[in-house]
A = this chain, B = another copy of it.
């Protein structure tokens, strides 16, 4: 923790307080990804393009900060964080495909299938997903008997009970699903599941007790809902370097409740997230400042 950073109400005034940590994560990602072998390895180049383009690294940042806050100084936190980022990257590549959202832009750049072709995009997604599991199963600083539960945790968040199910529900939402509860379930699967896996992996490595583990799980779900609300709001307004209007015709909460109510819900979910976090971490823990800075950014959505 950098004590020299001036703070007001616990919010860091130094926009770069977490810059160094983010950089360490990116450097680790870079080491873990295949080296670009020139034209012979476009799948590797696509994997790197997906994961090394500027990104917020929210899942790995939260995983590392939570693990450190729980007293772990294991370098495993970085590798597990990178694994969540690989699964997230794979899901973004697939979401953007012509047969899914057919997105042209992501983080201000042409989407991976537009840069490398659909076949390379699909193979890069599969390779990222597989590499995430290989990485978790091979993390040297975690004892072998603890690795298998971490793999299972990540797989549950990624597969047919998590991300995959959320993505399907998101694509095929029809009239039966036009309820706020149904949208919340889709959000929980599509975004909450991987946040939750990140928190549970941090808790496992840090040998957190059942209470802390449960609170971190609730924190992740609330933050996941907040992120989906934010995504809905920026889809209307543009921003974040993505296509706008991708959600037209989908039963987002904005269509159901109006933007004003969604903004209120976003704020309320962020408040809940911070309460669950406060149940685990003392107020001076860096993770609070990280989440507060995140919250401020999310609340700026129009």
Residue of B nearest to A133 (CB): B133
Contacts A34-B160, A118-B99 given: A129-B129 contact, CB under 8 Å?
yes
How far is B34's CA from A187's CA once the two chains are assembled, in angstroms?
Answer: 21
A239 contacts chain B at the CB level, 8 A cutoff: no
Contact of A131 among B122, B127, B145, B159 (CB under 8 A): B159
Bitwise interface map of A from 48 to 61 toward B, beta carbon under 8 Å scored 1, else 0: 00000000000000
Least Cβ distance of A142 to chain B in Å? Answer: 9
Interface residues in A106-139 by Cβ distance below 8 A to B read 117-120, 122-123, 125-127, 129-131, 133-134, 136-138
Q: A144-B148, A148-B137 are contacts. A164–B100 as well, Cβ < 8 Å?
A: no
Query: How many residues of chain A are within 8 Å of chain B by beta carbon?
Result: 47
Q: Is A149 an interface residue (CB 8 A)?
A: yes
Residues of chain B lying within 8 A (CB to CB) of residue A134: 151-152, 155-156, 159
Shortest Cβ-Cβ A-B pairs, 5 listed: A130-B159, A134-B155, A99-B118, A147-B148, A137-B151
A-B contact pairs, 21 of them (CB 8 A): A43-B164, A47-B160, A90-B126, A99-B117, A99-B118, A99-B119, A99-B122, A120-B168, A122-B122, A123-B164, A123-B167, A125-B126, A126-B164, A130-B155, A134-B159, A137-B155, A138-B152, A143-B145, A144-B146, A145-B145, A151-B151
Listed in ascending order, the chain A residues whose CB lies under 8 Å from chain B are 34, 42-44, 47, 90, 94, 97, 99-100, 117-120, 122-123, 125-127, 129-131, 133-134, 136-138, 143-149, 151-152, 155-156, 158-160, 164-165, 167-168, 171-172
